[in-house]
A and B are shown apart, each in its own frame.
Chain A
Amino acid sequence: MEFLADYIYYIGAFGLIIIGLLIVLVKHNLIKVIIGLSILDTGINLFLISVGYLKNGTAPIFSRTDLEPGNMVDPVPQALVLTAIVIGVAILALALSLAVKLYKHYGTLDLRKIKEQRW
């Protein structure tokens, strides 16, 4: 139980990272690959947030009644993750628009069949 409490978030985060990378490396369908990128992003975000977590901490927001810094969790990774989420959406939207366009040109999303350009 102790081990679980210490590592469960890391296990989740790295599980997502591995699954995301696996989808990107193994799958041939472009939309699947983009789904993989999105899962990879989620995993990295989860990892960053768990890096800043403090045991028995509180959210880094002061209310009217509670003005003590106390043991708030680290706000900086949260700010980083906010940025990273938005960047992830931007890349995703661009990738999907490219996928739509690619489908128009080739009539397929299978990356194995798209081989106009060679080494």
Chain B
Amino acid sequence: MRVILSILVLIVICLGIVSSLHRIPFGNPETKIGKYCINKGREETGAANIVTSVVVNYRGFDTLGEVTILFLAAIGLGSILTSMSKWSQRKTEPASLILKTGCRFLLPLILLFGAYIFIHGHLSPGGGFQGGAIIASAFLLIYLTFHGKGMNETGSKVTESSSGLIFILLGLIGLAVGNHYFLSNFLPKGQLNDLFSAGIIPLIYIAIGLKVGSELAKVIYNLMEKS
């Protein structure tokens, strides 16, 4: 009964949406801000990857909110999982030799790859979020292998807090100098496609990468060790 009712409701919703879709032809979009960003993005932000310039500069405030959400999730998860439960004493099997050796071999490579992705965020596909996720997956490997022994909680706390602060501080510096707008790109733009170009965009993406990496790693750590 419930299933049939739900399906009926969904069909009604779907019909409604389909009736409004004819205004949105596929492959032929109405792009007012999109066109502006493509045409002006290079001069105004100096980033070769226009998606990056939209994410960090045109819509940088959204990104600040998004970083906040990830921070919230990490904090909320910590508060939910630790608020009453004690650390459960589970027996963990030691990881196999293959996993340990593989981890030692792969770990620096994964970290390097993650760092490469977020440092080159303004030049090639990728950026802070993708790079951060890759770094977090490196930490997942560590937890699987060593069961979170020697995990430095203070270090991750400092990393995530200070990278968040750097993001806001860069914004506030933009408010204080240059043309007095929050998050305005006050550094020189440089040559297109150079590593050192696009003003504050790479700096912000590095901060985001560190923050996302440490937060996702913390989420995984909390779920694995404290639940």
User: Which residue numbers of A lie inside 8 Å of B, CB to CB?
Assistant: 6-7, 9-10, 14, 18, 21-22, 25-26, 50-55, 59-64, 67, 69, 72, 74-80, 82-83, 85-87, 89-91, 93-94, 96-98, 100-101, 104
Contact = CB atoms under 8 A, between A and B. Distances in A.
A21 B9 CA distance: 10
Given A22-B7, A79-B59, A82-B51, 8 more contacts: A52-B31, A61-B125, A63-B193, A76-B37, A78-B54, A83-B66, A90-B70, A93-B73
Contacts of A21: 6, 10, 13
Nearest to B5: A25
Nearest to A101: B80
Contacts of A76: 31, 33-34, 37, 54, 59
Contact of B54 (A14, A75, A86): A75
Contact of A97 (B80, B124, B125): B80
Interface of B: 2-3, 6-7, 9-10, 13-14, 17-18, 21, 24-29, 31, 33-35, 37-39, 41-42, 48-51, 53-55, 58-59, 62-63, 65-66, 69-70, 72-74, 76-77, 80-81, 85, 124-125, 127, 129, 192-193, 212, 216, 219, 222-223, 227
B28 A61 contact: no
Main SS of the interface on chain B?
A: helix
Given A25-B6, A79-B59, A62 B29 contact: no
